Amino acid sequence: MARSADADERQETTPSAPGKQAEPSLGLAITPTLVADQVYDALRTAILTGDLAGGSPLRVRDIAAMVGTSVMPVREAIRRLEETGLATRVAAHRGAVVREFTVTELIHIYDVRATLEAEAARLGAAKVTDADIARMEAACSRMQKAVAERRVWDALDDDEDLLRTLYKAGGNPVLVDVIENLWLQCRPYKVIGATEAMDHNDASLWTPQPALLEASRARDVKAATKLTKQSLASARSRLEKRLEQH
């Protein structure tokens, strides 16, 4: 017979046996300060690195035991994962699982990204300052160094830093927040694409950024918008082919 939700709730809130110490997991030692943030960061990292695969259940009590905290911060962390699109609730009272994306969903995400980021590039290229250009140059240099050293995660972070600087220059923080949330959802697939590009010495993934930097330096709105659209269309095509082959 299936247990009631109330029974699950009582079990989840039951404290651990005295003297029993949970083993740390997910690569993070939890401290009392900002516990929910730390649990969220640990879970997000595990999802984005593939340690928690799509479809993996996010059981509140199990996670609380692994990180050595109560269930309340874990619930808050899972709620935030759902808000950012990295987790989804399978059914009422059944908990959440790591989000799985189909090829169709991925295409939809990239279509939305293309629309939003083209607008963000258009706005940013018209208003970018010399200080913004300097920050974009620094991010581009870091990205190229990370690519040469095959540091996929760092290369993607630096790519996003460059774009974030341009997009923020446009003056619409809501637009930038939505774009960053879509980046977060796409990160596992961006890692796949970047890793394969490095494995095959494919430099095409890293050529749009210097071109976008130069277009921004020239305040060339049309070129910046076009480059952004082309880059996202290319990225979507590569990932779509990759997912269809597996």
CA torsion, points 201, 111, 107, 187, in degrees to nearest 10?
Answer: 50
- Return the closest-CA partner of residue 191 out of 230, 225, 160, 228: 160
pLDDT on residue 22: 44
pLDDT on residue 92: 63
pLDDT on residue 85: 79
pLDDT tens track for 71-92:
999 999 999 898 877 888 887 6
Query: Contact at 8 Å (CB) between 37 and 55?
Result: no
Query: Contact at 8 Å (CB) between 106 and 240?
Result: yes
Those residues with Cβ within 8 angstroms of residue 33's Cβ, 6 or more apart along the chain or in another chain: none
pTM (predicted TM-score): 0.71
CA–CA separation, 88 and 135 (whole Å) = 36
Within the chain, which residues score under 70 in pLDDT?
1-33, 92-93, 242-246
Sequence-ordered strand ranges (E) for the chain: 57-58, 87-89, 96-98
Query: Contact at 8 Å (CB) between 198 and 213?
Result: no
Query: Contact at 8 Å (CB) between 206 and 155?
Result: yes
122 burial (CB, 10 Å; 0-12 / 13-18 / 19+) is: middle
Query: Which residues are registered as beta bridge partners of 98?
Result: 87
pLDDT on residue 10: 41
Query: Contact at 8 Å (CB) between 158 and 167?
Result: no
CA torsion, points 160, 155, 83, 70, in degrees to nearest 10?
Answer: -140
Instruction: Report DSSP letters for 129-172, one per residue.
Output: -HHHHHHHHHHHHHHHHHHHTT-HHHHHHHHHHHHHHHHHHTT-
Q: Which amino acid is it at 208? A: P
pLDDT on residue 191: 81
pLDDT tens track for 143-168:
999 999 999 989 999 999 999 999 99
